[in-house]
Structure 1
Amino acid sequence: MIRALALSLSVLALAVQAAPEQIAPANCVVAEQGWAEAALQRSLSAPLGLPPVPHPADNPPTRAKIELGRKLFFDRRLSINKTMSCAMCHVPEQGFANWELATAVGVEGRSVNRNAPTLINVGYLSPLFHDGRDVALETQFVSPMTARNEMANPSIGHVVALLGRLPDYRDLFADAFGAGPSLDRIGQALGAYQRTLVAGDSPFDRWYFGGDEAALGADAQQGFALFTGKAGCAGCHTLGDRDALFTDQLFHDTGYGRLRAAQRDNPPETVPVQVAPGVVHNLDFARVLSVSARRDPDLGRYAVTEDPADRWTFRTPGLRNLAVTPPYMHDGGFSTLAQVIDFYDRGGRPHPAQDPAIRPLGLDAGEKRALEAFLLSLTSDGLGCLVGAARTQPPDNH
């Protein structure tokens, strides 16, 4: 455990120091409705700035599926030693992401190479994961539940059998499906719940799609002009006339993967580690590495396709709610939006295979601040409602 956790700490990048306040849960349940009914209606809606949530034809959402999916999402008993749940890496109060670690930590402190992405608006995405190795929420859960460095179950059949033995799931599966636990039913319930994590209606949405000229400040408006113009961000972080996911859902080599590989091969002498808010120690990196597992290179999409053209490419992330989902990049290497903007302003880490859209931007300090102001304006109202719904019941830890 110590060997794996140490390297995760070494790449912390002071994420805690940069993180905003946790999202406070709010009771936003519509009168006469329970939280699950409100969540169901949310998953069937199209909030300002977003299209309707796409639901698979063979998995229409129901209140019973959502209630079951929420319970599965928070249940630590579904890991090999009953310590880890989906919500341990996708923390509701932290934007359904994780601020404390640049890269996730699984069972017994085993390190994961990548940052835990937010699940807010995940229902709009396909493919999933930073490398696109799965295409649907109904099957995505198998990977983290069986990965040795995540929930570490020996097989997904082990999880199905476990659920069949837990009496508190008997009625929930019967209500949702009229049958007991199975691989497909687990995935359908988790998918139905995650598609309720919808959040649009940001200040930008009210300005751009709602026509409210007072909703967005002048600095953020300037930032949007840069985003779609000089900076060229909208080439990959796309938006349409009626809605915007801020991702083309394609894979690009921005130079960041190669940058991190170079840093891995040429480590610094010391690394900052935050041990408490505002308390940072610069540790000798050789000492950290001596008690750490060696981090393998991350070649991104190539690990899925084994196509040389996919080396160092990663899926374009959406940009909504960035203010509440640090740290950034596929491995959490940047703790602030300013660092991300600086990276792209420099033109990434130029090399022959880098996407030609990544180029030096020549932004001055004021333009960088304006661009950040625009990105901050993508924070949705109602995030507290998602947290409140998630925390309607205590998790199952026994």
Structure 2
Amino acid sequence: ASARRNAPGLINVAYHPRLFHDGREGALETQVWGPLLAPDEMANPSLGYVLDRLRALPDYAGLFETAFAGRGASADTVGAALASFQRTLVSGDSRFDRYRYGGMSDALSAEERAGLAIFTGKGRCATCHLIGERDALLSDFAYHNTGIGWLRSQEGGAVEVELAPGVRARMSAAVVRSIGAAPRSDLGRFEITRDPRERWAYRTPMLREVAATAPYMHDGSLPTLEAVVEYYDRGGAGAPGQSPLIAPLQLSAAERAALVAFLRSLSGRLPKPESAHPGDRR
């Protein structure tokens, strides 16, 4: 449990004005270098090391020069190449879109329509996950203290750990520290702005393809959509500075199930990425 945060989803990332859970980067071209150099991610020792490896790989021979008018692999061209690919990761034409914007009244089931009504009404989800008249990016792109960051910081807090693919167990923080690196503190947006009002605040994620992006929250502490809905239904963690937008919802079991069903309807059509290597296109 040495990584502080769950990997943010990349679906529709081109529409995010700021990147990472704390919004510390403003452009995909520069954001891409963060994971490449982070010691608990790809752990490359330096930018130059990455470029030297790319230049030495025969698979990339001539590709950067072809794509960038004779310019080889550099910090700028690697950033531009990765950013260009990420901008193709667009999801749309979900059953929700067909219902909301396409006039297809039968695109959602009765349970999913009930879930949409809860999402925009009693559940208060659309307060932060915005649905517009003509489109829905499903985020206000603001930063909110949901209580999860504070909860994770508590000494006796439990952590969801993946022991093997598909096998997860909930362990106390003390047990996690006894078998791995101690979790590092994480104060969210405060680490960027130093504004006390943004302690434990994280960016509102977009919800496209949310059914396929478990686990959830900035730290991956909630394993299922059902767990997320239950967390917000009980009003979060009651953390210091928790957003006043989060309060007990008093949803019934049927309403919670309907809300989850609606969230699953946000899966749409994704592009099929092609290999960038000309020899792979046959």
TM-score by length of 1: 0.65
Q: Which has the higher helix share?
A: 1
Residue 232 in 1 paired to residue 139 in 2? no
Give 1:390 shift: 5.2
Q: Could you say which residue in structure 2 is the equivalent of 1:135?
A: 26
Give the corresponding residue for 2:100: 208
Q: Distance in 2 between matches of 1:282 and 1:238?
A: 32
Cα 1:293–1:162 change in 2 (3 A) is same
Q: 1:330 aligns with which of 218, 228, 237?
A: 218
Q: Identify if the C-alpha distance between structure 1 residues 139 and 215 changes in structure 2 by more than 3 Å, giving closer, same or farther.
A: same
Q: Give how far 1:372 is off.
A: 0.9
Aligned: 1:159 with 2:50: yes
Task: State the Cα distance separating 1:237 from its structure 2 match.
Answer: 0.3
1:183 equivalent in structure 2: 75
- Aligned match of 1:266: 156
RMSD over aligned Cα, in angstroms?
A: 2.3
Task: Single out whichever of 115-124 and 187-196 deviates more from structure 2.
Answer: 115-124
User: Structure 1 residues 376 and 135 mapped into 2: Cα distance closer, same or farther (>3 Å)?
Assistant: same
Identity of aligned residues (%): 49
Aligned pair count?
A: 276
Query: Aligned in 2, Cα 1:227/1:271: closer, same or farther, shift over 3 Å?
Result: closer
Could you tell me which residue of structure 2 aligns to residue 55 of structure 1? none
1:194 deviation in Å?
0.7
CA separation of 1:273 and 1:146: change in aligned 2, threshold 3 A: closer
Cα distance in 1, alignment partners of residues 35 and 183 from structure 2? 19
Residue 174 (1) aligns with residue 174 (2) = no
In 1, the alpha carbon distance for the partners of 2:104 and 2:170 equals 48
Cα distance, 1:283–1:146 mapped onto 2, change above 3 Å: closer
Deviation (angstroms), 1:160 = 2.3
Instruction: Give the structure 1 partner of residue 280 of structure 2.
Output: none
Distance apart, 1:147 and its partner CA: 1.2
What letter is aligned with 2:205?
A: P
**Larger mean Cα displacement after TM superposition, 140-149 or 160-169:** 160-169
Residue 158 of structure 1: how far off its partner (Å): 2.4
Deviations 1:1-46 (A, max 9, x none): xxxxxxx3xxxxxxxxxxxxxxxxxxxxxxxxxxxxxxxxxxxxxx
Alignment of 1:218-367 (within 5 A): 218-262=110-154, 265-267=155-157, 274-275=163-164, 288-367=176-255
Cα 1:188–1:391 change in 2 (3 A) is closer
What 5-or-longer segments of structure 1 have no aligned partner? 1-7, 9-110, 394-398
CA offsets 1:78-104 (integer angstroms, 9 cap, x no match): xxxxxxxxxxxxxxxxxxxxxxxxxxx
Conserved? CA contact 2:160–2:223, under 8 Å: no
Deviation for aligned residue 1:289: 2.9
- 2:18 touches 2:26 (CA, 8 Å); kept in 1? yes
